[in-house]
Amino acid sequence: MREPAASSTRAQETTPTRCILVVDDDQKLVEVVRLYLERERYQVLVAYDGITALALARQAHPCLAILDWMLPQLDGLDLCRLLHTEGRLPVILLTAKASEEDMLLGLRLGADDYLTKPFRPRELVARVASVLRRAYPETATRSSELSCGELTVDLASHEVWFEEQRLAVTPTEFKLLVSLMREPGRVFSRDELVRRVFGEDYEGVERTIDVHLMNLRRKIEPKPEQPRYIQTVYGVGYRFAREN
């Protein structure tokens, strides 16, 4: 039998949102990468040259940097070497240079991974997650659950538990619950939740989200007619309640 989850004063992950520094002189590419990373709940800092990127890294202390090889003012290889030397910051290099010699050079200078252009943004996001797991193994383990009171979400196994009972939730309900629990107190519009759950290209009706949330409330709320966790903010949207 599963041990009951420890209560907490608010829904929380055990680690804060991770910050990624994205550096490339192609501003359109930077915006695409930013969009995909933010969908995965990363905080994203951007720079378009090496000098600005180095200053940002020293000031904001991101947990990973994504660097283009060819950068104005300070190129990606020199920047990679500096970041690795000063703080052992994990780095993923992006480049059009596809030779084995170039890849080995980048890795020798401190890069943790290497992706050639053009690349698929989803592959980059997967590489980010992989590098972070290797760089911060203890943090990755600790952040595998969200909890609030008797409610626990296991992100690794995609299971939802209330007290000692595992709840049968659909994949859509799971995504909704995780999106809300990660930011307790924040009000999400229906459109935001639709994009989080179904993606940017969804062409269905926004009110569909109301049905999924109604079904989710029936499963996680002791009194669905008086919701404790998922609250409606009339005329705006929904939020996951902070516990007092």
194 vs 176: CA distance, rounded Å: 9
Do 159 and 229 belong to one domain?
Answer: yes
Q: Tell me whether residue 188 is in a domain.
A: yes
Neighbouring-strand partners of residue 14: none
**Domains held by the chain: number:** 2
- Read off the pLDDT of residues 105-152 as tens digits, 9 standing for 90 and up: 666 666 788 888 888 888 898 888 888 877 776 555 445 778 887 888
Same domain, 153 and 188: yes
With beta carbons less than 8 A apart as the criterion, state whether 114 and 103 touch: yes
Do 68 and 119 reside in the same domain of the chain? yes
Q: Where does residue 3 rank: exposed (0-12), middle (13-18), buried (19+ CB within 10 A)?
A: exposed
pLDDT, one tens digit per residue, over 49-97 is 989 999 999 888 898 999 988 888 888 888 888 887 777 788 898 887 6
105, 139, 173 - which closes a domain:
139
- pTM for this predicted structure: 0.52
